[in-house]
Structure 1
Amino acid sequence: MSERIETVVLDSDGLSAWIARDRKLLAMLRVFHDTDADLVIGANTIVEVRHSRANTPRLDWALSRVEVEPVTEQAAKAAELRKGAGFHGHTYAIAATAAEVALRQPKPVAPLTSDNDDMTKLCGNQIRVIPL
């Protein structure tokens, strides 16, 4: 990675990969840790990832190592991002809130996501998407 990333935003895929100990993601997180990048998630990402099959102790451990952004009226502006990208319905609601969290973090910011195209449409060129 040529440019230092100040903030890394994990969406539900990124957080799930961390919990599952995905080797590619763990290698990326080591690099970000070594460069003192902040790890951030939106609180509603936890809602999406915490389910009956989730490894709860591992999830709780991961959450202790990230900054969790609360769901606020500010976060509700994600609806405008979703509308601007031409998305509708609940399918894109969580992705839009992850995008909104990313856009208000210190730059340069990079979301780790498997939804590369969606995140790019939601955020435009204001972020650098890192695909999982």
Structure 2
Amino acid sequence: MKAPTARSLVLDPQALSLLLRNDRGMVTRIEAARRVGVPVRVSALTVVEAAYGKTDTARLHWVLSRLQVQDVTQADSLTAVQLLSDAGGLHGHKYAIDALVAAMALRVPAPVVVLTSDRDDWSRLCGDRVQIKDV
């Protein structure tokens, strides 16, 4: 049986960073998602984590204009607390942003594909509720 088509593509900070650097592979993946009508989503927190001093501001604004930037909600914060607890009591100080981005990924239309450089964290936080693809 064929897996259901993704309804959301979520980028982690490394995936967004690659997109900001115009990485050919990442650009190709994003364009493929767009062609089939899958929204590409990124948490507002991911933007902060992916951008750094050498990030081209104009490029950042252009890339973000083509993505669905998701706000962090109070519900996300409560879900993140539960995800950290369910993952064996991960410490919020180290995993706070990952947990909040995971909470956002769990509230957008499923099935969700997450492009990440950190498969272990996503597996611990979301289990099989998202499909994890390495960047």
Normalising by structure 1, we get a TM-score of: 0.91
Give the percent of matched residue pairs that are identical in Structure 1 and Structure 2.
Answer: 36
The one-letter code matched in structure 2 to 1:61 is W
What 5-or-longer segments of structure 1 have no aligned partner? none
Contact 1:112 1:130 in 2 (8 A): yes
What 5-or-longer segments of structure 2 have no aligned partner? none
SS at match of 2:74: coil
Find 1:94's aligned residue among 93, 97, 100: 97
The one-letter code matched in structure 2 to 1:116 is R
Deviation at 1:115, TM superposition (A): 0.6
RMSD of aligned residue pairs (Cα, Å): 1.6
Within 2, Cα distance between the matches of 1:29 and 1:3?
18
SS at match of 1:81: helix
Deviation at 1:109, TM superposition (A): 0.6
Contact 2:13 2:49 in 1 (8 A): yes
Deviation at 1:49, TM superposition (A): 2.2
CA deviations 1:35-81 (Å, max 9, x no partner) are 11011111111221233121211111111011111122112021221
Pairing 1:58-73 to 2, within 5 Å after superposition: 58-73=59-74
Within 1, Cα distance between the matches of 2:63 and 2:18?
11
Partner of 2:84: 82
Pairing 1:12-27 to 2, within 5 Å after superposition: 12-27=13-28
Pairing 1:1-132 to 2, within 5 Å after superposition: 3-77=4-78, 78-86=80-88, 87-132=90-135
The one-letter code matched in structure 1 to 2:131 is R
Within 1, Cα distance between the matches of 2:62 and 2:56?
10
The one-letter code matched in structure 1 to 2:112 is V
Contact 1:4 1:35 in 2 (8 A): no
SS at match of 1:63: helix
CA deviations 1:3-57 (Å, max 9, x no partner) are 4211001111111110011122112112111111011111111221233121211
Contact 2:72 2:104 in 1 (8 A): no
Within 1, Cα distance between the matches of 2:4 and 2:35?
14
Within 1, Cα distance between the matches of 2:84 and 2:19?
26
Count of residue pairs the alignment pairs up: 132
Normalising by structure 2, we get a TM-score of: 0.89
